Structure 1
Amino acid sequence: MNKWILFLLAFAGFTTTAYAQQGTLTGVVVDGASGETLIGVNITIPEANAGLATDLDGKYNIQLAPGTYTLEASFIAYQTKVIKEIVIKTGEVTRVDIPLTQESLELQQVIVTASSVDNSEVSMLRLQKNSLSIQDGISAQEINKIGFSNSAESMKRITGAAIEDGKFIVMRGLADRYSIATMNGVVLPSTTPYRNSTSMDLIPSTMLDNIVVKKTFTPDLPGNFTGGAVDISTKSLPDAFYLNIGLSASFNDQTTFNDNFLRDPVEGKYDWLGYDDGSRKIPDILLNNEMLTSLGGAINDIRSNPEDQQLINRFNSTMQALAGRGFSVNRHSPGLNKGINFSVGNRLRLKDGRSLGYNLGINYKQDHAQYDNRVVNNYTARMDFDNRMVPYLLSNGTESVTGSNLGGIFSLGYQLNNNNRVKASILYNNSADQSVLNFDDGSMPQLLSGSDLRNRAISFTRRSLLNAQLQGDHVAGFLGGTKVEWSGNYIVSRQYEPDKRLIAAPVFPGGTYNFVAEMSLPFHFFRDLRDEQYSGKIDLSSGLEKIDLKYGAFFSRKERDFEERRYQLSTSRTPDASQYVSFSEANGDYERFFAAGNTGVLGVRDGEVEFGNAYQYQTPPSSFYEGHEQVAAAYLMSTFDITDKLKTVLGARVEFTDIAVGIKSGAGEKGTINTVDVLPSLNFIYALNDRSNLRLSGTRTLARPNMRELAPFSSFELSGAFAEVGNPGLKRTNITNLDFRYELFPRPSELFALSLFYKNFENPIIKELSATSSSPVYQYVNTGTAKLMGVEVELRQKLDFISLALEKFNIGANFSYIYSRVDMRPEEYEIRKNVDPDIKDWRPFAAQSPYIANLILSYDNPEKGWQSTVFANMFGPRLFANGRGAAPDTYEMYGRINDKANNRITSNFPLPELNYRLRKSFANSFSVALTINNILDYSVVRYQEHNGIYYTNDVFNPGRTFQLSLGYEIR
């Protein structure tokens, strides 16, 4: 780490010396009425005798010596705009965006001063105002101001957005299956098999240009979203040279220097980077299924003939390798969390107006999390309504997690001229979580006659994403000025879990340790999921006399390969040998019982081989599945003005879906979806005046099950916890959407918006805790219908309207209220009705909060280099899972454990997440920032409520974090 820091500082010194002593003038020229960018606008600077034309994005970029200049922007059929008093400073980028007005006989030229022209702070709102669909967004400038560290955190600022598990976006109360994430317009895959959308925490905020969320569908977007389409834009051609270096260290009041932090004794030399060096990998010999089958079927009958003895010896060495990993843990005191990020870019001006730009970003961080009062409980239900909560699993202990993230992005853009540009980029991100979940205090009252239970899970989970993109933008003169945009992508995502270990050890009265038939014996899991995806698209835009056409095609194919191997301890083959130590004799000591000397071949007596602990290959065929998801699409949309104030966007998209998932052996039912969907879209935009719009939208979209949900594969993450199984019979969901929005832009950086929305679902997909299964199991099912409706309000306001003394203060607030009802399946409803005749036959969508609120109060004084931001986010209790049988449903919220004796909340009124950041810039290039997260010290709580009592299902407290960041930048 120290070497990295020294290298980056040395590089910074070199580039600072090499940096040219000029300034850069840049901006975007748009049609003042429609907001569309204008290509080929003539930009002249008389004082410098310089000029150029705007490029494919309506952008201009010119280097000038320090001084004061005048800019003239002229274009056919538009009034010439003259902007005076533009000040250029050494090494700085000055942005002047220019809206042009259609030419009139009365006025051919408009003269303004630079101080009256919008700046970069309002570019996102301008984009929002002039978009063809309802959208929200957050710029890199705002992300930096608030101090968000990744895309997931940044999304909390968006109206109607919430984050689940710190990674997955929930838009408008709809779980991640109803939202998609794209990077530069190309859909990103999920690196988690149980989710539809990508893990948003994989992309660090330092790599972002902006985040835009489309909330209504237009035909040029993928059709499989309903809540929102999140587009993450990475940096393209820079305006000028820039360099950023950031270092951070943070202290968590629950984790840092906590002596109770647990670690897996198996440690690799690359763990700190998020890679396993092979220390946890599956032994090669265990991949020989024929050998394992032979041993599993006849191990007690094996005699000491040469072939069998050789087989036994090979098996013994393998078992010793597994046993050496064991189930014991080490205690460790973690130090400060740390992070480093580096980014650099420049635009090189070549001959004949050509330019070459590059961006390079590297990000690394390592965080620790300790949850000292970790609770995991599961309940079933009696049919007795007055006292029906029955404990199934009760667990209390700790969880220790070390997370490492290493990412990088490199892009290269080449602008041949104003009409042609190509860009290549590659993004790579790797993250790993090393986790020990340890419950020394627990029980399973129903299964073990009241015995206590020790439960432990040790895991290393690595997620990686590689995204290579090639894009092009062109204006084809031979096609009448048609704009052509194309892209090709190759994406590989992987989730790798080598040697996940699960053990549940019953403790009977008197302190007797023993395994029982009612509980699964200790497991070693080896899981590997790999997705490989190819995609390409082309979009063409043609402007006719009174109508703008956009049309194109898209193709994507994703192939998945998943393998899970399970090896389970076998005690049935253990002989009565004096050298063998049983679990009871070991007094529950994991290290002693699982020692290599207590495993495999212990010796030969009377010519017969004696075995100690051994592992059986317990992998069902469904643990090996493969599949593909192929989507082809074509679309046509038109934009035209019905009147001077009323614009319509009309079109349709046709999507061909081909999904097939099955067990590799060919056994069992295969999950398939083969459909053709026509997805129409109709949007109306009425400009009340030049500062406000009315929007009305009616669209049709869909949601597809992912391959994990279709695969007949069952998995579990903790011994005694509920299993999760796929369903090959799932259907895709069709959704009808209606949206209305009023938006007002009082000043360039201000906004007031009011939105109403309604959605109707056919065959919605839900994750259900089965009410009819003989054992508790989560399953994916289609229900009949569902409805969702809501209202969103957003305000962004400068506070100088109260007093000029508050001119540097800004407030941003948004609130969403959401109501939904999803049909309960008849099988479950009949069971619940027998207990409570008045019970409703519906429930809300999973992960849907009844309300979401965000508040930001910021102070920005660039002259003195001070920034201060308070950020609060709060969401109402959201459905996590339905209760089994007659049990009440499980909800999730941020709260506080007030009843500490029972680890329970006493109210379901949530706590907000409250964060604060203070930043000071000095000496032009340096900055220091203090960030405090979770000031109110909330806990994440999942609970079931019955007769006024809140039964805890899951609790963990992330603690408060205090972070100090140092930054160096050249812009």
Structure 2
Amino acid sequence: MRYLFSIFFSFITLLSVAQNGKIRGTIVDDKTGETLVGVAVLVKGTTTGTASDLDGQFTLDVAEGSYDLQISYISFQTLTVGDVQVKAGEITLLDNLRMKESTLELGEVVVSAEVIRTTEAALNTIKKQSASILDGISSEKIRLTGDNTAVEAARRVTGVSIEGGKYVYVRGLGDRYSKTTLNGMDIPGLDPDRNSLQMDIFPTNLMNNMMVSKNFTADMPADFTGGLMNVETKDFPEDKIVSVSLSTSFNPDMHLNSDFLTYTGSPTDFLGFDNGTRGLPSGADQRVIPTPISGHSQQEVVDFVRSFNPELAASRKTSLPNYSASFSLGNQISLNGDKKLGYIFSVSYKSEYTWYDNIVYGEYQRYIDPDLYEMRYATLQNGEMGEQNVLVGLLGGVAIKTTFSKLRLTAMRLQNGESRAGKFEIDNDGQAVGQSGYFATSDNLEYNQRSLSNVLLNGVHVFKNSGWEIDWRLSPTFSTSDDPDIRKTAFTHSSNGSSFNAGAGGNPTRIWRSLGELNAIAKLDVTKKYTLNDREAKLKFGVSHTYKYRDYEILLFDIQFFGGQSWPDPDPSTVLNPENIYPNRPNSIYYQSGNIYPNPNAYRSNVNNTGIYISNEFELFPKLKTIVGLRAENYVQKHTGRDQRYASGDTKNGQNLDNEKVLGSFDLFPSVNLVFSLTDDQNLRASYARTIARPSFKELSFAQIIDPVSNRIFNGSFFTYPGWDGNLTETRIDNFDVRWELFMKSGQILSMSAFYKKFDNPIELVRIPEQQTSTEYQPRNVGNGRLYGVELEFRKDLDFISPAWSHFNLNGNFTFVESLIDMTEIEFKSRKSYEKTGETIKDTRQMAGQAPYVINGGVSYNHYESGFDAGLFYNVKGPTLSIVGAGLFPDIFIKPFHSLNFSLNKKIGESKNTTIDFKVSNILNARTESYYQSYHAENKPYSQMSPGRKFSLGVSYRF
């Protein structure tokens, strides 16, 4: 009976609590933007009260009604918030409670709860007081705009451009010099060869903010130059989250297209991974596989051929529109005493169909004759390709918090699968240098599956009234990228008929690529607040260690013919029919391994990077904030792999590395940041920092990676050539910045910047001039570089024109850069040897990867009361050198892509819990193009395709 009574009493208690509502808020220092710990919050006229925790947050349980809150803290003016409306079972959120320091008058500040809305005022304060040049977007602003993914929100950050709809670049610098972190920790993206994380995978309702640092301070990792974007996920949701969203998009050029190319995959492709259907056949990884001359029986040869999937031809079906769905759940619960439990969970699914019906891949050369200016083609590929991309995301987290400490655990799993099928016509010009001359048709079938699993364990501890704070983080990440069974089947056609020709279109090939990478990071930051000359100061120091390990392998097989060939009907779908398989003549197909042991296209690499830093922020003089820091990193990269010569048995002249150090350095990265407060709303900044860019795992290797569609080959830097000794080193960069900034109300800003960067041994992708029969590229250190840039940023409401324009906002960012590379003697001579009549080759050129200009602009309309938001956004990057040519081969540039996008969202319903989104992407119907450029010659295509216009419609509901 006692237990029944306890259960009944608990039930009645829960019912009574359910009739209450909650008031939640965050309290910040109006001067610094930092959250305040231990602030007393009292419901006027009652004894109900609480105190803010280490995040400046508080929660009050009260009955339905209207209340006044009194908020007090030593040395700050008392803040009274009036007319706080509370409804039963609901949360009233006060996002931005700003406390001002006490003055001699010690007056009380009184505000109405109605004016505390989701503004970016606190974020503006953080930017104004930040040690680094900072920009970003807060969760408050994201809620206003209704952006669903992080990449949509990032478009609104000044100085940011979006590459490929996924990657964030800052100031026009490419991926090598940009970096993305998650919760302050390094994390590899789904593309393990990029610094940048795919930003379209994060739903915005799980994000606290996105901040972009445009210069370096000692507490940051040193391997970025353009900008570092940090995505901070929520751990304690301000209010209860239960939301569902559905969206679809339609591209008239791509969807509901009956000519869409595809092929049969596995039953689990819709989940983003292959279930083994494309797996490597049993025994294929052995040193000796069954062939007519291997000593195996005829039946073993036949069985081995039949163990490979016989589908080699792309087939057609009708493509579906894109669609996506997501579900998010989160809340915080009060436990015993001052303990709180927060949890967050999200699952998302996205399926996209992409169709290109006029893809062009071109290989062009210069003529040797100096009077012939136009370029000649070596190989032209024209064709069509279909892609289906699936992304599944899971994110979950739990956190426990007291007034002075917090512990959180977050886990994330991303699974991505992309199936591609294409048909191409290949025209090779035998008159071009190194070319045989042929015409071929090719069917290409590909599948790539990528996964990322990340865990973050984070603890924050504030020692009451001592000024000390400790923040520690542990974050392991395991990522994979596999390409199972890439198939290319190319018939070579001539007047004598069609056949497979190894010296022309090539024999049918199959490739298996596998990559696994482990990242394990530990980080400790300690902060001590103190006073210097009666002014606030902050000492910060810490240590971090990063361990990375990658295991990579490529296995290659091609079809051989035991005897002659006969293909009266050159159809890839019939190639592996039983009548063509050994010992049936005339074709007698069997598989030959292209692999030798040890495999030169397999490597294992690891990195250990230990960092330690100290930084001090102080004011020696009034209004002049000085931040001086020094970071040290000890970086060691080791490699296991070998070259083709060693793998073929030439152990004397070949190279073989067994966990040998290929890169090792101990670097010091000093930084000085000066911030002079011209007025309360204006800063003048100056800064210097030294940073670094390091080669990737695949760049420091013997790997040769072929793109099966374009036939272009990436070579690791270890291969030596005349003028290149195979020693790829780091790029060290000196960075200088000057910036004036004016902060206005409601998150408005105006700033002007100038910057200079000096690059020592920059790394660029270079065409290998010695490889004239194939198209091969290699990362190399080129001559020293430098760039000069200016930047103008603004975000301005248009209420100064008229009150009728008060809901309109205009924002823009204009970056103009002059970059120069001092050519090496080898590069300069190779260019001079192909100098045209009237041309003067200089010993400098544009820096690869750096756009000469970046323009971001947008106009938006927001009406908070009606829940309506709309915006038109434009972005373009100037022509950017992508691949450095040499001698016979011209430079390759990326053509400016004029991106114009429109978005509109409307919150409907009495509580505005339902949001309808409508978007139009690529309004100008721009094409993605890269091209060859040579003196007085017409630009010729390197690659081009048209993404078309896309119309999107989405609906989300928040319970």
Q: TM-score, normalised by structure 1?
A: 0.89
Is the aligned partner of 1:414 residue 2:412?
no
Is the aligned partner of 1:696 residue 2:686?
yes
Name the structure 2 match of 1:913. Answer: 900
Query: Going by fraction, where is helix more abundant, 1 or 2?
Result: 1
Write the distance in 1 (CA, Å) between the matches of 2:321 and 2:942: 31
Counterparts of 1:509-524 in structure 2, within 5 Å, are 509=495, 512-524=498-510
Counterparts of 1:771-786 in structure 2, within 5 Å, are 771-775=769-773, 776-786=775-785
Is the aligned partner of 1:368 residue 2:368?
no
Counterparts of 1:194-343 in structure 2, within 5 Å, are 194-265=193-264, 267-289=265-287, 291-292=288-289, 295=290, 299-300=292-293, 302=295, 308-309=296-297, 312-322=298-308, 324-343=309-328
1:32 paired residue among 30, 33, 36: 30
Name the structure 2 match of 1:11. Answer: none
The alignment partner of 1:157 has SS state of coil
* Structure 1: runs of 5 or more not aligned: 1-16, 303-307, 577-581, 604-609, 895-909
Name the structure 2 match of 1:567. Answer: 557
1:389 paired residue among 375, 389, 404: 375
Structure 1 residue 347: Cα displacement: 0.7
Letter in 1 for 2:186: V
Compared with structure 1, are the counterparts of its residues 649 and 44 closer, same or farther at alpha carbon in structure 2 (3 Å cutoff)?
same
More divergent stretch after superposition (555-564 vs 591-600): 591-600
Write the distance in 2 (CA, Å) between the matches of 1:313 and 1:722: 37
Write the distance in 2 (CA, Å) between the matches of 1:586 and 1:689: 83
The alignment partner of 1:708 has SS state of coil
Structure 1 residue 861: Cα displacement: 2.2
Percent identity over the alignment is 29
Is the aligned partner of 1:940 residue 2:939?
no
The alignment partner of 2:169 has SS state of strand
Letter in 2 for 1:81: L
User: Are 2:187 and 2:519, in contact at CA under 8 Å, matched by a contact in 1?
Assistant: no
More divergent stretch after superposition (613-622 vs 930-939): 613-622
Q: 1:917-965, CA deviations, whole angstroms, 9 ceiling, x for partnerless residues?
A: 2434224222222211111111101112342522112111111111121
Structure 1 residue 626: Cα displacement: 0.2
User: Are 2:452 and 2:478, in contact at CA under 8 Å, matched by a contact in 1?
Assistant: yes
1:455 paired residue among 442, 447, 456: 442
User: Are 2:439 and 2:505, in contact at CA under 8 Å, matched by a contact in 1?
Assistant: no
Name the structure 2 match of 1:839. Answer: 841
Name the structure 2 match of 1:717. Answer: 707
Is the aligned partner of 1:54 residue 2:45?
no
Write the distance in 2 (CA, Å) between the matches of 1:444 and 1:25: 74
User: Are 1:194 and 1:709, in contact at CA under 8 Å, matched by a contact in 2?
Assistant: no
Is the aligned partner of 1:726 residue 2:716?
yes
Write the distance in 1 (CA, Å) between the matches of 2:861 and 2:47: 40
More divergent stretch after superposition (862-871 vs 188-197): 188-197
Name the structure 2 match of 1:766. Answer: 764
The alignment partner of 1:709 has SS state of coil
Write the distance in 2 (CA, Å) between the matches of 1:108 and 1:655: 50
The alignment partner of 2:804 has SS state of helix
The alignment partner of 1:275 has SS state of coil
Write the distance in 2 (CA, Å) between the matches of 1:575 and 1:888: 42
* Structure 2: runs of 5 or more not aligned: 1-14, 719-726
2:869 paired residue among 867, 870, 877: 867
Compared with structure 1, are the counterparts of its residues 150 and 725 closer, same or farther at alpha carbon in structure 2 (3 Å cutoff)?
farther
Compared with structure 1, are the counterparts of its residues 21 and 380 closer, same or farther at alpha carbon in structure 2 (3 Å cutoff)?
farther
Compared with structure 1, are the counterparts of its residues 809 and 65 closer, same or farther at alpha carbon in structure 2 (3 Å cutoff)?
farther
The alignment partner of 1:585 has SS state of coil
Write the distance in 1 (CA, Å) between the matches of 2:498 and 2:16: 73
Counterparts of 1:105-120 in structure 2, within 5 Å, are 105-115=104-114, 119-120=118-119
Name the structure 2 match of 1:742. Answer: 740
Compared with structure 1, are the counterparts of its residues 145 and 256 closer, same or farther at alpha carbon in structure 2 (3 Å cutoff)?
farther
Structure 1 residue 206: Cα displacement: 4.6
1:423 paired residue among 408, 421, 436: 408
User: Are 1:388 and 1:887, in contact at CA under 8 Å, matched by a contact in 2?
Assistant: no
Letter in 2 for 1:501: R
Write the distance in 2 (CA, Å) between the matches of 1:523 and 1:466: 32
Name the structure 2 match of 1:687. Answer: 677
Write the distance in 2 (CA, Å) between the matches of 1:448 and 1:589: 26
Name the structure 1 match of 2:753. Answer: 755
User: Are 1:317 and 1:600, in contact at CA under 8 Å, matched by a contact in 2?
Assistant: no
Letter in 2 for 1:421: K
User: Are 1:202 and 1:431, in contact at CA under 8 Å, matched by a contact in 2?
Assistant: no
Write the distance in 2 (CA, Å) between the matches of 1:85 and 1:881: 63
Q: 1:616-667, CA deviations, whole angstroms, 9 ceiling, x for partnerless residues?
A: 1112522110010111111111111122311111111110101012317895
Name the structure 1 match of 2:529. Answer: 543
1:473 paired residue among 454, 460, 481: 460
The alignment partner of 1:56 has SS state of coil
Write the distance in 2 (CA, Å) between the matches of 1:807 and 1:70: 30
The alignment partner of 2:656 has SS state of coil
Write the distance in 1 (CA, Å) between the matches of 2:827 and 2:148: 42
Compared with structure 1, are the counterparts of its residues 276 and 851 closer, same or farther at alpha carbon in structure 2 (3 Å cutoff)?
same
Counterparts of 1:57-136 in structure 2, within 5 Å, are 57-89=55-87, 91-115=90-114, 119-136=118-135
Q: 1:580-631, CA deviations, whole angstroms, 9 ceiling, x for partnerless residues?
A: xx3x42432111223244224449xxxxxx9811121112522110010111
Compared with structure 1, are the counterparts of its residues 611 and 452 closer, same or farther at alpha carbon in structure 2 (3 Å cutoff)?
closer
Write the distance in 2 (CA, Å) between the matches of 1:335 and 1:955: 24
User: Are 1:772 and 1:828, in contact at CA under 8 Å, matched by a contact in 2?
Assistant: no
Name the structure 2 match of 1:172. Answer: 171
The alignment partner of 2:531 has SS state of coil
Structure 1 residue 284: Cα displacement: 2.0
Write the distance in 2 (CA, Å) between the matches of 1:282 and 1:147: 45
Compared with structure 1, are the counterparts of its residues 586 and 320 closer, same or farther at alpha carbon in structure 2 (3 Å cutoff)?
farther
Is the aligned partner of 1:151 residue 2:150?
yes
User: Are 1:763 and 1:783, in contact at CA under 8 Å, matched by a contact in 2?
Assistant: yes
- Size of the aligned set, in residue pairs, is 909
User: Are 2:548 and 2:606, in contact at CA under 8 Å, matched by a contact in 1?
Assistant: yes
Q: 1:231-256, CA deviations, whole angstroms, 9 ceiling, x for partnerless residues?
A: 11111101221211001122111111
User: Are 2:831 and 2:886, in contact at CA under 8 Å, matched by a contact in 1?
Assistant: no
2:484 paired residue among 489, 492, 498: 498
Counterparts of 1:484-633 in structure 2, within 5 Å, are 484-509=470-495, 512-546=498-532, 547-571=537-561, 574-575=562-563, 582=565, 584-602=566-584, 612-619=588-595, 621-633=599-611
Structure 1 residue 785: Cα displacement: 0.9
Write the distance in 1 (CA, Å) between the matches of 2:685 and 2:19: 47
Structure 1 residue 30: Cα displacement: 2.6
The alignment partner of 2:349 has SS state of strand
More divergent stretch after superposition (742-751 vs 97-106): 97-106
User: Are 2:314 and 2:422, in contact at CA under 8 Å, matched by a contact in 1?
Assistant: no
Letter in 2 for 1:842: T
Structure 1 residue 372: Cα displacement: 0.9
Name the structure 2 match of 1:898. Answer: none
User: Are 1:662 and 1:671, in contact at CA under 8 Å, matched by a contact in 2?
Assistant: no
Compared with structure 1, are the counterparts of its residues 387 and 587 closer, same or farther at alpha carbon in structure 2 (3 Å cutoff)?
farther
Name the structure 2 match of 1:907. Answer: none
Structure 1 residue 714: Cα displacement: 0.7
The alignment partner of 2:574 has SS state of helix
Q: TM-score, normalised by structure 2?
A: 0.90
Write the distance in 2 (CA, Å) between the matches of 1:532 and 1:586: 50
Write the distance in 1 (CA, Å) between the matches of 2:894 and 2:614: 42
Q: 1:837-874, CA deviations, whole angstroms, 9 ceiling, x for partnerless residues?
A: 61232332333221112222222223223222222222
Question: What's the C-alpha RMSD, in Å, of the aligned pairs?
Answer: 2.5
Structure 1 residue 673: Cα displacement: 1.0
Q: 1:498-547, CA deviations, whole angstroms, 9 ceiling, x for partnerless residues?
A: 00112332222475444242454221110110001211111111112223
Structure 1 residue 88: Cα displacement: 3.8
Letter in 2 for 1:890: I
Compared with structure 1, are the counterparts of its residues 521 and 827 closer, same or farther at alpha carbon in structure 2 (3 Å cutoff)?
farther
Write the distance in 1 (CA, Å) between the matches of 2:429 and 2:138: 50
Name the structure 2 match of 1:877. Answer: 879
